[in-house]
Amino acid sequence: MTQAAILVSAPYFTADELARIEDVGELVYAGTPEERAALSEEARMGVRAIANKGHKPLDGAQMDLFPNLEIIAQFGVGYDAIDVAAATARGIRVTNTPDVLNEDVADLALAMMLAWSREIVRGDGWVRDGTWSKGKELPRNRKMSGAPVGIAGMGRIGRAIADRCAGFGMPVHYTSRSAKDTPEGWTYHGEDVVALAEAVEWMVVAVVGGENTKGYLSREAIRALGPRGVVINIARGTCVDEDALIEALEAGDIAGAGLDVFYNEPHVNPRLIALPNVLLQPHQASSTVETRRDMSMLQCANLTAYFAGAPLPTPVN
């Protein structure tokens, strides 16, 4: 074990995850900005690393509380809550845990698409509450296979989703900053998400979070999907214009949505909760035992490598 003090800056770590971090260095617990500010000067001076988890902002002012801070290791692929520019200006390294969660996130995207199109949740309820046994048939639901799908953001996760959709015979369209090496027949729309929406029935939002992608799926793009359009979001709540989405869903301008992420989560807009054409999930795309274990191990591998003077496995800056 090194002599490094590692600040645990979020209350969301499990006992197993904390035990792995503790194998790297001595832990200091301060899960909120107020708790961090209340630490003694001696404790703050001893902190060389932050193990972060979740999406609460971590800005330059909080970094300045720890004059000897050298690295922030994020648990998760998304690091939009961390002010990376502020960290870089202070010589602080930032890492994340990409790749290990791609398959689980893609699986959930497809699960939501199938569950929405085949009304899995409603059907389960009808069997359990006796509606089916009383002779009522579930209304005909909608075929997903073969329908055109748009992947808004063809990164690692977007590609994993697209590969699964292709297995269902769905023509794949996508946006990205640059064209990708994809199978023949996949259609690239540049960064024009409106053109993407006009070409598809299913729109899967898989862009990274952050200021640059706020409202990426805009009001115009949502409108362009049309009455058969379904929005699936496994990225960040901020990547979709949520007000425009709710209005389109309420008006029937699009068919529905499957959402794993939201504005102001876990406090979901009551208007979304009231809608019968929306499938809701509690931001659980990467939440399997295996993947959360792998994310924890990669977070600790970054910390271990840093203190050993070795190359960082997954650097952000």
SS3 of the chain: helix, strand, coil, percent, to 5: 40, 15, 45
The token pair that represents 158 in the structure block: 């977007």
Q: How many Cα atoms occupy the beta-carbon half-sphere of 106 within 13 Å?
A: 21
Q: Report the distance separating Cα 9 and Cα 24, nearest Å.
A: 16
- How far CA 84 is from CA of 89, 277, 285, 292, 300, in Å, comes to 8, 38, 24, 23, 19
What are 71's strand-pairing partners?
Answer: 49, 93
For residues 188 and 179, is the Cβ–Cβ distance under 8 A? yes
Inter-helix orientation angle 102-117/156-167, to 10°: 40
Q: By the 8 A CB rule, do 258 and 204 touch? A: no
Q: Tokens representing 72?
A: 């922030």
Amino acid at 158: G
State whether the Cα torsion 73-77-81-87 is positive or negative. Answer: positive
Cα 308 from Cα 229, distance rounded (Å): 51
Is the Cα dihedral 131, 132, 135, 139 positive or negative? Answer: positive
Catalytic residues: 236, 265, 283
